[in-house]
Amino acid sequence: MTFLLRIFLVATALVAAGADPARALEISGTFVQGGLATGKVEPGTALTLDGNPVAVAPDGSFIIGFGRKAKGKMVLRAVPPEGPSETRELQIKARKYKIQRIDGLPTRKVSPTSPADLARIKSDRRQIVEVRKRTTLKTFFDTGFMWPVTGRISGVFGSQRILNGKPRSPHNGVDVAAPRGTPVKTMGDGVVALVNQDMFFTGKTVMIDHGLGLTSVYIHMDKITVNEGDFVTKGMQIGTVGATGRATGPHLHWGVSWFNIHLDPALLVGPQKPKE
C-alpha cells in the first residue's frame, strides 16, 4: 500500500466517523461547584456556556468557571468558523458548605450605617467590579497556580458567614492565618489590575488579571510591594500578611473569580506543601 493511499484511507475514516481534530472541542478541569475548567477550540470559534458568550484567545484557548451554586448540568456549545457546531453537556457536582461563626468584629465593620462608610463601600465595590469585567485575551494562567502563602486554613470557600451573630454573604475565598509580615506571593502569572491601600472591608488589597476573565484577589495585607500595571510571575512577592480592613487577626484572604463568578482557590492548587 502506497503512502498516499494510506493517507487517503485515514482521512476517509475520520470523515466517516465525523471526526475533525482541527475543530475538536477539548476541555478538562474540576467539574464541581467552585471549580475551573480549561479548554481549546479552533481559533475564531464562537463559544457559549448556557447561551452566554465565552472569551476565546487567539490560539483557541478558553476557560470557564462554576460558581458556588452552579446547576448540575450546563451546556457548552462551539461554533467554528467553518464546519458543524459541537455541543457538550457538562455535569457539575454539587457541594455541601459549612457554617462559620465569627464574633468580636467591630460593629461598624459588620453593619455600617454612616453615609461616609456606605459611600466608601460603594466606591470599593465599583473598583473591584470594574476589574472583574476585564476580558484580557491572554493566557497568563498557562503557567499554573500555587498557594500565595501557607499556614492554618481559617476560612474555606462557600461557607455561610455568621458575623457577630448576624448572617452575611457566603465566604468567597480561602483564609490562611500566618504571622504578620509573612510574604504574600502571586498565585500565577498576570498583570496587577488593582492596588488599593485602604478598602473599607478588605484593607490593603491587590487584584491580578490572569487572562480571559480570571482574576485573583489578595486582601487584609500589611504591606503591598507592587504597582498597578506591573507584570508578575508565579511566586513573585506582592506584599505581606496583615490584618487590615475587617479582620480579627493577621491572615490572607485569597479569592479567585472568573468574571463575576467566585471560584474555590483551593481547587486550583491542591493541598498545601511545607514550602512553596
What pLDDT digit, counting tens, does each position of 170-185 carry? Answer: 778 999 999 999 999 9
Same domain, 23 and 120: no
pLDDT digits (tens, 9 = 90+) for 21-76: 455 899 999 999 999 999 999 999 999 999 999 999 999 999 999 999 999 999 99
CATH code of residue 33? 2.60.40
Q: Is residue 274 part of a domain?
A: no
- Residue-number span of the structural domain to which 69 is assigned: 3-91
Asked if 46 and 181 sit in the same domain, the reply is: no
H or E segment to which residue 87 belongs: strand 86-91
- What's the number of domains the chain is made of? 2
Do 129 and 158 belong to one domain? yes
- With cut-offs at 50, 70 and 90, classify the pLDDT of residue 98: confident
pLDDT of residue 151: 95
**3 contacts: CB under 8 Å, gap ≥ 6:** none
Confidence of residue 248 (pLDDT cuts 50, 70, 90): confident
Instruction: Show which of 67, 91, 115 is a domain's final residue.
Output: 91
In a domain, residue 150? The reply is yes
pTM of the model: 0.85
276 assigned to some structural domain: no
- Sequence-ordered list of residues with C-beta below 8 angstroms from that of 273, at least 6 positions apart, any chain: 147, 150
Say if 81 falls within a structural domain: yes
Same domain, 152 and 190: yes
Query: Are 160 and 230 part of one and the same domain?
Result: yes
CATH classification of the domain holding 108: 2.70.70.10
If one compares 214 and 155, the residue with the highest pLDDT of the two is 214
Written in H, E and C, the secondary structure of 170-224 is: CCCEEEEECCCCCEEECCCCEEEEEEEEEECCCEEEEEEEEECCEEEEEEEECEE
Q: Same structural domain for residues 138 and 17? A: no
- Please report which confidence band the pLDDT of residue 16 belongs to, taking 50, 70 and 90 as the band edges: very low
> Is the pLDDT reported for residue 257 higher than 90?
yes
pLDDT at 160 over 80: no
First to last CA, the chain: 56
Are 140 and 71 members of one domain?
no
The answer to whether residue 183 is domain-embedded is: yes
Q: What pLDDT, on the 0 to 100 scale, is given for residue 171?
A: 79
* Residue 58 within a domain: yes
